[in-house]
Amino acid sequence: MSGWLAGLLALAFFSPLAFIYARAFAGRVQAAAAARGRSAVAVAAPKLIWPLVLGCALALRLGGGDLAEWQEAAASRTLAAALSALWLLGSLAAILFFVTIPFVLGRFLGALLAAMGKFSGERDDPLSFGSRGFKREGSETAGQESARMGFTVAIDGPAAAGKGTIAQRLAAHYGFAYLDTGLLYRAIGRLAAERGLDLDDGEAMGAVARALDPAVLDDGSLRGREAGELASRVAVHAPVRAALTEFQRGFARRPGGAVLDGRDIGTVICPEAEVKIFVSASPEVRARRRTDELLAKGRAVDYGTILQEVRARDERDSGRAAAPLKAAPDAALLDTSELDIEEAFRAACRIVDASPHPRSGA
Ligand code: CDP
């Protein structure tokens, strides 16, 4: 009787911890299931083997039986050896009782929740133990599993739609490398202007692009407004775009996985990218964001001017003949007009996790 009471008390004591773990497990199972195109039950089932074995071993050990008696009664030596192993495992599980119980309970509860479709957005496991089995599949669904193979997330969209921030956060979250391709065009525009070259001369701009040293991309001032304007002028030239294509493709297929953001990533650079997202927002929202961003940096700007600039840049980027800004036909559309950055990031994660090519790398 007291054994049962102790068991019930232990269950009550550990259930909050088990529930936290169960939520994370459920989220990861569902993310892995979506990415692999399998059911949550099929993904969760093999992950219940260890908790089942541990649970049985613990029950055997704490059940008050006598190992020697069981071994004597065992029909074969193999069965006797298996009982010893289970007994030993049960002893270990009992020593690590406070870890074993939330782990076993959490996994079974999590599998049930996953099968019911609950907590699909959960992924951050607050417990470090027992999470190794998921990490490769859940929070890094498209990440680590595919890392060896190459996995490209192509993000396109107009200026100030939030694509840069989303791309950076995705890269950090999945452990992918990140390339802001706009910096390439910015660097070319800046170099050409510094050298007094004609920005409308496509061949001359192409030569600057072919000689570009990627080391210049580290220059923080490239992110400024002026460089953005210069970039959009040199980006219209086909020789410039051609010179940058191989570099971007090589980056996209690097073994660790990559996120690239720009205007033509999903359409021209990586039409075969595993994930394509087109991030947009209304010109007014984008102009407001850009104005606030610049005001926060202490720059004297006004909303009307920025809105004009945003519209002019949209027009130039969408209207040009070479690789115009447009969504790839198979891109997921993400309108961030009504979303804050956290919501936009989560929406992007869902798109990546739902990719049907978690490790194809093809
Ligand atoms: O951050 P923001 O969107 O303002 O600019 P960016 O992404 O750094 O791009 C600056 C300009 O480079 C854009 O307006 C495009 O004209 C050009 N660009 C492009 O043509 N293709 C890319 N893949 C990236 C940028």
**CATH number of the domain within which 218 lies:** 3.40.50.300
Tell me if 240 CB under 6 Å of ligand 1.
Answer: no
Considering the domain architecture, whether residues 104 and 190 belong to the same structural domain is answered as no
pLDDT of residue 201: 96
For the question of whether the overall pTM of this predicted structure is more than 0.85, the answer is no
Average pLDDT, stretch 166-171?
A: 96
* Helix, coil or strand: residue 181: coil
**Pairing mode, strands 275-280 and 258-262:** unpaired
Query: Which of 128-132, 135-139, 141-145, 279-283 ranks highest by mean pLDDT?
Result: 279-283
pLDDT band at 36 (very low <50, low <70, confident <90, very high): low
Considering the domain architecture, whether residues 213 and 322 belong to the same structural domain is answered as yes
pLDDT band at 34 (very low <50, low <70, confident <90, very high): low
Considering the domain architecture, whether residues 36 and 119 belong to the same structural domain is answered as yes
**Pairing mode, strands 177-180 and 332-335:** unpaired
**Which atom of ligand 1 sits closest to the CA of residue 317?**
16
Residue nearest to atom 6 of ligand 1 (CA): 182
pLDDT band at 40 (very low <50, low <70, confident <90, very high): confident
CA dist., res. 88 & res. 82, Å (int): 10
Cα of 228 to ligand 1 centre, how many Å? Answer: 7
E strands of 172-233, at which residues? Answer: 177-180
Indicate whether 257 belongs to any domain. Answer: yes
Q: For the chain, give the mean pLDDT.
A: 85
Q: How many domains does the chain have?
A: 2
Cα of 263 to ligand 1 centre, how many Å? Answer: 6
Indicate whether 262 belongs to any domain. Answer: yes
Tell me if 290 CB under 6 Å of ligand 1.
Answer: no
pLDDT band at 142 (very low <50, low <70, confident <90, very high): very low
CA dist., res. 101 & res. 273, Å (int): 42
CB of 322 within 8 A of CB of 209?
no
pLDDT of residue 3: 64
Indicate whether 87 belongs to any domain. Answer: yes
The DSSP 8-state label assigned to residue 38 in this structure reads: -
Span of 74-88, 112-126, 207-221, 312-326 with lowest mean pLDDT: 112-126
CA dist., res. 326 & res. 319, Å (int): 10
The best mutation among 181, 199, 264, 294 to test binding of ligand 1, ranked by most ligand atoms within 8 Å of the C-beta, falls on 181
Considering the domain architecture, whether residues 196 and 252 belong to the same structural domain is answered as yes
Considering the domain architecture, whether residues 121 and 149 belong to the same structural domain is answered as no
pLDDT of residue 128: 34
Indicate whether 157 belongs to any domain. Answer: yes
Average pLDDT, stretch 45-73?
A: 87
Considering the domain architecture, whether residues 127 and 150 belong to the same structural domain is answered as no
Q: Which domain holds residue 294?
A: 144-353
pLDDT band at 191 (very low <50, low <70, confident <90, very high): very high
pLDDT band at 63 (very low <50, low <70, confident <90, very high): confident
**Which atom of ligand 1 sits closest to the CA of residue 265?**
23
Considering the domain architecture, whether residues 205 and 103 belong to the same structural domain is answered as no
Considering the domain architecture, whether residues 195 and 333 belong to the same structural domain is answered as yes
Considering the domain architecture, whether residues 261 and 186 belong to the same structural domain is answered as yes
pLDDT band at 222 (very low <50, low <70, confident <90, very high): very high
Q: Which of 135, 162, 185 is the last residue of a domain?
A: 135
Considering the domain architecture, whether residues 123 and 12 belong to the same structural domain is answered as yes
Name the residue with higher pLDDT: 14 or 112.
112
Q: Which of 135, 160, 187 is the last residue of a domain?
A: 135
Does the pLDDT of residue 220 top 90, yes or no? no
Indicate whether 84 belongs to any domain. Answer: yes
Does the pLDDT of residue 190 top 90, yes or no? yes
Indicate whether 99 belongs to any domain. Answer: yes
Span of 96-100, 249-253, 272-276 with lowest mean pLDDT: 96-100
Q: Which of 100, 135, 170 is the last residue of a domain?
A: 135
Tell me if 164 CB under 6 Å of ligand 1.
Answer: yes
Indicate whether 78 belongs to any domain. Answer: yes
pLDDT band at 31 (very low <50, low <70, confident <90, very high): low
DSSP states along 227-270:
HHHHHHHHTT-HHHHHHHHHHHHHHHT-TT-EEEEESSIIIII-
pLDDT of residue 266: 96
- pLDDT tens digits along 65-82: 788 888 888 888 888 888
CB of 150 within 8 A of CB of 362?
no
Considering the domain architecture, whether residues 130 and 156 belong to the same structural domain is answered as no
**Residue positions counted in the chain:** 362
* Helix, coil or strand: residue 259: strand
CA dist., res. 152 & res. 132, Å (int): 24
Considering the domain architecture, whether residues 171 and 273 belong to the same structural domain is answered as yes
Name the residue with higher pLDDT: 362 or 350.
350
Indicate whether 359 belongs to any domain. Answer: no
Q: To which residue do tokens 């359409």 refer? A: 267
CA dist., res. 213 & res. 190, Å (int): 13
